[in-house]
Amino acid sequence: MLSIVSPMKVAILVLLFQLSSAIVTAKPFTMGGDVDPPLKWLDENDQPVGIEVELLSAIYEQMPELVPEFQFTIFKSSPRSKQALKDGTLDQYITMSHKKKRMAYLLYPAESHLNIKWVFFTTHQFLMKQQQSGFPVVFNEYKDLANYKIGATQDYAYSEEFWQLANNGTINVEVMQKNKLNIKKLLAGRIDLFPSYQFKMQWNAQQGGYDHLISYLPKAIRDKQYFNPFSKASTNPNVLNGKIIRRYDEVLRSLKRKGVVKKILKKYGVN
**pLDDT tens digit string along 124-142?**
999 999 999 999 999 999 9
Q: For residue 205, give the amino acid letter.
A: A
Task: Give CA–CA dist 145/122, Å, rounded.
Answer: 12
pLDDT for the residue 8: 54
The pTM assigned to this predicted structure is 0.86
Whether the pLDDT of residue 116 is over 80: the answer is yes
User: pLDDT tens digit string along 73-94?
Assistant: 999 988 999 999 999 999 999 9
Transcribe 55-82 into DSSP letters: HHHHHHTT-TTT-S-EEEEEES-HHHHH
14 falls in which pLDDT band (50, 70, 90)?
very low
Residue (of 256, 259, 262, 264) closest to 112 by Cα position: 256
pLDDT for the residue 1: 45
Task: Give CA–CA dist 123/182, Å, rounded.
Answer: 13
SS3 content of the chain, % helix, strand, coil (to 5): 40, 25, 35
Q: What is the DSSP letter of 28?
A: P
pLDDT for the residue 12: 52
Mean pLDDT, the chain, whole residue set: 92
Kindly report the number of other CB atoms within 10 A of residue 180's CB atom. Answer: 12
Non-local (6+) Cβ contacts of 55 within 8 A are 113, 255, 260, 261, 264
21 falls in which pLDDT band (50, 70, 90)?
very low
- In residues, how long is the chain? 271
Whether the pLDDT of residue 9 is over 80: the answer is no
Beta strand extents in the chain (DSSP E only): 29-34, 41-42, 48-49, 70-75, 92-93, 96-97, 106-107, 114-123, 149-153, 172-176, 194-197, 214-227, 230-231
Q: Are 189 and 210 in contact (CB under 8 A)?
A: no
pLDDT for the residue 211: 97
